[in-house]
A = this chain, B = another copy of it.
Amino acid sequence: LSNSDNELHLSRVTNRPTRRPLLAVIQYDGGGFAGWQRQPPPARTVQAEFESVLERLLGKRVAVTGAGRTDAGVHALGQVASVTVGFTHPVETVTRAMNAQLPEDIRVLEVVEAPADFHARFSAVGKTYEYRVLRSAICLPFERHYVHHHPYPLDEERMGALAPLLEGEHDFSAFAASDETDELRRSKVRTIFSSCLHRNGERLIYRVRGSGFLKHMVRNIVGTLVEIGRGRQRAEWVDEVLASGDRTQAGRTAPAEGLFLVSVDYGAQL
C-alpha cells in the first residue's frame, strides 16, 4: 500500500474511453448511515459516499447500483455495488484507491470484472441476510452496535421449528414495511430458499436466503418469530399472518442494528 494511491486520479491515465462494468464487494457498519440509498443532505448514505469517492477519482459523476437497498442502521458484510467505468486500471489498484478515499466505516473488499450486461440488483439470483439476537444477560460494550439484545425468556426451540415455514414462494405483503402496503402495483411475491434459526454461543442467529426481500421484511419476520418465542402468539400464527397479507397482523419490526446483509449470489453469471 503506497501513499501515492491517495493521489491517484484514475481518469488521468486512460488512453481511450471504454465501457467496463465492474462490481465491488463492500462491507459497512450501518450505524453511521441513513441506509444504502442516496437521500437529500444532510442524510449520510453509503451510496452517496461511494459515488462521491468515484467522482473524486474519475473527475466526473457516475451512478453506482447496489444489490440490496439496506435500511438505516443495517450492516453489510458483503453488499455488491456495480458501476461502469472508462478506465483500464487493474482491479487491485481500484480497490486500493477506493479504500484510501472512503471513510473507515465502508471498505471495498474486492473489485471484480463483471459481464457486459451486469446489474448489481437485477442480476442477483439470491441474497442472504443474517439477524443476530444476543441472549446473554449482559450486552458487552464491544458488541452493543452489532446485535439486538434480548435477554428475556424465549422458546427458541419453537422459534427454530417455525422458521422453515417461511420457505417457498409466498406473497409477503404481511411482512412488508407498513409504508409500502398501499403501493399495490408491485408484486410482493418473493421466494425464500432457506430460513433457519440456530444458536451460536450466546447468539441466536436467524439466517435467510431468498430471491429478494421487501423493505423491512427480514426484521418483520424476526419480530414475528420473537412474538411466538415469547409465548404471545400460537405457532399457527406464522401461517395466518402470511395468509392474511396484512402488515398489522405481523410482529413488530426488529431493530436495525441486529441485521446484516451477508452476501449476494449471482449464480453462474460470475
Contacts and interface: CB of A to CB of B under 8 A. Distances in A.
A1 B152 contact: yes
A139 B104 contact: yes
Interface string A148-190: 0001100000000000000000000000000000000000000
A107 B139 contact: yes
A146 interface: yes
Give the interface SS of chain A, mostly helix, strand, loop or mixed. loop
Given A1-B152, A151-B1, A142 B29 contact: yes
Contact of A144 (B1, B105, B146): B105
7 contacts: A27-B142, A29-B142, A75-B142, A99-B138, A107-B138, A107-B141, A108-B138
Contacts of A29: 141-142, 144
B107 A140 contact: yes
Top 4 A-B pairs, shortest CB-CB distance: A29-B141, A104-B144, A105-B141, A107-B138
A99 B140 CA distance: 11
Nearest to A149: B104
- Which of the listed residues A106, A140, A141, A151 has the most CB atoms from chain B within 10 Å of its own CB? A141
A243 interface: no
A137 interface: yes
A206 interface: no
B28 A141 contact: yes
A119 B144 CA distance: 30
A142 B104 CA distance: 9
A180 to B, nearest CB: 28
Interface in A23-46: 27-29
Interface in A96-150: 99, 104-109, 137-142, 144, 146
A141 B1 contact: no
Given A106-B141, A107-B140, 17 more contacts: A1-B137, A1-B151, A27-B140, A27-B141, A27-B142, A28-B141, A29-B141, A29-B142, A29-B144, A99-B138, A104-B141, A104-B144, A105-B141, A107-B139, A108-B138, A109-B138, A142-B146
A208 to B, nearest CB: 21
